[in-house]
Amino acid sequence: MKKVFSFLIALVIMSACVKAQDIITKRNGDEIKAKVTEVGTTEIKYKRSGNETGPTYTLPKSEIFMVKYENGEKDIFQTADAEPEPEQKPVPVKEVAKPKEETIVVRQQPTRQTVGTARPVAQTRTVEQTPRRPAAPVDTRDGVLTYPDRRGYAGFILGVAIPVGNIGDADFVTGGQFALDFGVLFSKNVGVTALIFGTSHSNSYNDDASTGLIGFLTGPLFSFPLSPGGRVEFDLKPLVGFAQADLDNGSKHYDFDTRFAFGSGATFRFNLSRRFSLSANLNYINSTVDKKDLHINYEDTDFSVLGITVGANIRF
């Protein structure tokens, strides 16, 4: 009788011990008999069944499907609970021009899922944009139409040439002047310029007599903007170079030796667009003719002209 009674007591104790167990079911199907001591945000802490005074074990919630407690309650864990999505902060986006072309790139990203459900696929649409080239060559700054800076110009000028000095005293009258005008700026206000020119004059007393001057001059260029946006510029040009005069008195033609020449110029340039400008010019050119070439007794003849011209230029 005592043996039966002892067996029943042992059976009751074993049943109580079995009932007092928590069961952890992992996602791979394994079961752990344990006593859960703590359920955290991303992990579960437990002690092994039958060794409640032993070490504490930790198991990530991402590996756990379900915990069945001794009182019959259940906790079912989803992957999203174990690894919460980080909060996405808005990213500032710079304003870009409307694209001419769009390249669409589709990426696949896995989303969190629970056991036994299909894995959906999220698609992200990325558009690569190509900035549109500005249609207009000008912009506006403080309400003023502004042209892009240009480093140089090349143009053709035409106008009148007024003889001064000895050649003017010899009854030669106002004639014409033509020239090719060049300029390049090395900085905002300083550069270099060149002038290839020619003049022609008739004589007021001899219809058959004429004279002229051709040459090449170069020198520094000093340029100053006169209006907002650089629409009007003023240039100063000290010049040196060489020139050759000729004379036709109706019966004989003289081509004189090439001599040193110098001069100066002042120009107003009106920039009509980023590629085109007009100019108004005033220039002075001085050279000499050797007296031996004229077979006269006084000193070298001063050959000087004052030019008033207008021109058209290409900007570059």
Residue 191 counted as domain residue: yes
Boundary-marking domain end, from 45, 63, 80: 80
Domain that holds residue 243: 151-315
| CB-based contact 243:213 (threshold 8 Å) | yes
DSSP 35: E
Provide the CATH number for the domain around residue 74: 2.30.30
Shared-domain flag, residues 75 and 216: no
pLDDT in tens, 134-144: 544 444 444 44
The chain-wide mean pLDDT, for the chain, equals: 78
Instruction: Give the pLDDT score at 297.
Output: 44
Residues 156 and 62 in one domain: no
Do 66 and 179 sit in the same domain of this protein? no
pLDDT in tens, 57-112: 898 988 898 888 888 888 888 765 444 555 656 655 555 555 555 545 445 554 45
Decide: residue 259, CB within 10 A, 0-12 exposed, 13-18 middle, 19+ buried.
middle
Rounded Cα distance, 179 and 200, in Å: 12
Looking at the structure, do residues 76 and 155 belong to the same domain, yes or no? Answer: no
